[in-house]
Amino acid sequence: MLTDSPQGKAGSTAVPWEKVPAQGWITVLAGVSVNLCLGILYAWSVWKAALLANKDHIAGSVMGGINAGWTYMSDSQATWAYSICGLVFTLCMIPGGRIQDKYGPKVSVTLGGLSLALGCIVAGFMRSYIGLVIGFGILGGIGMGIGYAGPIPAAVKWFGQHKRGLIVGLVVGGFGGAAIYIAAVAGLLIKAYGISNSFYIMGILFSIVVIVAGRLLHTPPAGYVPPVAPATGKAAAKAHTASEDWTASEMLKTWQYIVLAIMAASGAQAGLLVVVNATPMLFKTASSLAFFAANAWMIASFGGIMNLSGRVGTGFYSDKIGRKNAFIINCLLCATCLFLMPYIIKSGNVLLLFLTVGIAYWQLGGNLALMPAITADYFGQKNLGFNYGLVFALGGVCFFVPEIGAFIKDSTGSLDYAFYMSGIFLLVGVGAASVIRKPIKERAKVVSPAL
């Protein structure tokens, strides 16, 4: 047992462990499992594709068969639940972080899982646009925000600064990787049992997994000091330098807080725009290819693989080349893809579509792995749950971009201008990352007595 060691007891000498205890790795795996359920947000394009009006069914017309009671929706209607969910998600990171910091990850994750499950059931039961907004948008967003705030702080406290990027990438990788299986399962469930039943099944499954996995989340005992980097020289000195712990009120007074929020918003909005439109984009690009037209959910699953890979991969190389450099590289690549996206969709080139969509998912995943790591680097990890919640919440304006894109599509018939807009926002993020630097805490000046 960890607490049997003198290094694990409160008041003991702060001596770094030689290796991370098993409980630390169990917490990482449990965090991944939790996020594999909370990440249903990234598979929304599968439900959106089933809800969208088409040439045979106008918006407002009633569905039949296994989807009786549902009506076909416009692009903006089918996007609102996703956008509201994302916005509520970001806002609830604040109370979620506070719950995690005060009561521990088990409580925040359990509350989050139950809220998400209830939201899915409400969405399926109401069978309407309002039901989607209340169920998936509000209740689902609450569950994601409160639940997502739990695993990251718990996991990173077990590991030294030199592995912070990788660990955050692994934990949040579950959220991004959720689309890998949820898109496929949801697509099959919708076809076989209908939209409502797909929500019921997912809700019940998620509540079970999240509650069980949440019980396995552990925080280190008082006095625990994580292993330090085995490197020597400058690399060791940098890795051994712990970040000072800032309170939320102290962080909010720094200009770095605003710039971090700009980076978070600009980096996330591009991927979110692609995520909500991935399946319909493949429908349009591959309209003449029967296989892809019938299995358009595949691009959302592929996106999930890239999202997961982007979180772990970016977290890994950010430990090597620096967080800022990793952020800038990812954003520049993604911006290039967005500027080219309209031409790729018109060309009907499915291979290029998968490539550009994959890069957008990679960038989104990488951004969501980098931001908590940068927040910990700059403001310490003691209050990471609440501090990152504040950064994430202010950056939550990014969830309005998919809805703006939906209005653009309803007005112009395409997402072209939405892609251009999103690419420009990414370049704003690159500019923000170029100027940010680690804050320095002001010390109270010590005045010597007059002689």
CATH number at residue 130: 1.20.1250.20
**Predicted local confidence at residue 16, as pLDDT:** 66
Nearest to 340 by CA among 351, 352, 350: 352
Domain assignment of residue 449, yes or no? no
Determine whether 205 is exposed, middle or buried from the number of CB atoms within 10 Å of its CB (0-12, 13-18, 19+): middle
Structural domain includes residue 444: no
DSSP, residue by residue, 334-374: HHHHHHHHHHHHHHT-HHHHHHHHHHHHHHHHHHHHHHHHH
According to the model, what pLDDT value does residue 177 have?
A: 78
Euclidean distance between CA atoms 424 and 247, whole angstroms: 33
Task: Please check whether residue 28 lies inside any domain of the structure.
Answer: yes
What does the CA dihedral 251, 100, 219, 324 come to, rounded to 10 degrees?
-40
- What torsion, rounded to 10 degrees, do the Cα atoms 16, 18, 19, 20 define? -20
Q: Give the total number of structural domains in the chain.
A: 1
Query: What H or E segment, with its residue span, contains residue 241?
Result: none
d(CA 242, CA 160): 9
Q: Is the separation of the CB atoms in 74 and 213 below 8 Å?
A: no
Decide: 266 and 398 in contact? Cβ < 8 Å.
yes
Do the domain assignments include residue 11? no
- Is 258 within 8 Å of 251 (Cβ atoms)? no
DSSP string, 2-67: GGGSGGGSTTS-----SS--HHHHHHHHHHHHHHHHHGGGGGHHHHHHHHB--SSS-TTPBP-GGG
**pTM attached to this predicted model:** 0.74
In this prediction, the residues of the chain whose per-residue pLDDT falls under 70 are 1-17, 229-243, 443-451
Cβ-contact 312, 169 below 8 angstroms: yes
- The number of beta carbons lying within 10 Å of the beta carbon of residue 185 is 18
3-state secondary structure 267-278: HHHHHHHHHHHH
Would residue 104 be called left, alpha or beta, if left means φ above 0 and alpha means ψ between -120 and 50 degrees? left
Residue 253 lies in a domain: yes
Q: Residue 134: what pLDDT?
A: 97
98 within some domain: yes
Residue whose pair of structure tokens reads 């909005």 in the numeric block: 269
Q: Which residues contact 255 (CB under 8 A, 6 or more apart)?
A: none
What CA–CA distance (Å, rounded) separates 93 from 144?
A: 8
Short-list 288, 209, 251, CA closest to 30: 209
Please tell me the predicted confidence (pLDDT) of residue 14: 55
Q: Which of 280, 290, 374 is nearest to 326 (CA)?
A: 374
Distance CA 413, CA 409 (A): 5
Residue 179 CB partners (closer than 8 Å, separation 6+): 39, 42, 43, 275, 300, 301, 303, 304, 307
The predicted structure's pLDDT at residue 193: 96
User: If you search the block for the tokens 């320095």, which residue do you land on?
Assistant: 440
Q: What residues are paired with 71 via a beta bridge?
A: 62
- Interval 133-189: pLDDT, tens: 999 999 999 999 999 888 988 888 888 777 777 787 788 778 877 878 888 899 899
| Inter-residue contact 364 to 337 (CB < 8 Å) | no
The residue behind tokens 């990679």 is 362
Q: Is residue 249 part of a domain?
A: yes
| Contact predicate 346/416, CB 8 Å | no
Structural domain of residue 44, as residue ranges?
20-435
Residue 428: which H helix or E strand, with range?
helix 416-435
Q: Look at residue 13 and tell me if it is in a domain.
A: no
Grouping H, G, I as helix, E, B as strand and the rest as coil, residue 254 is coil
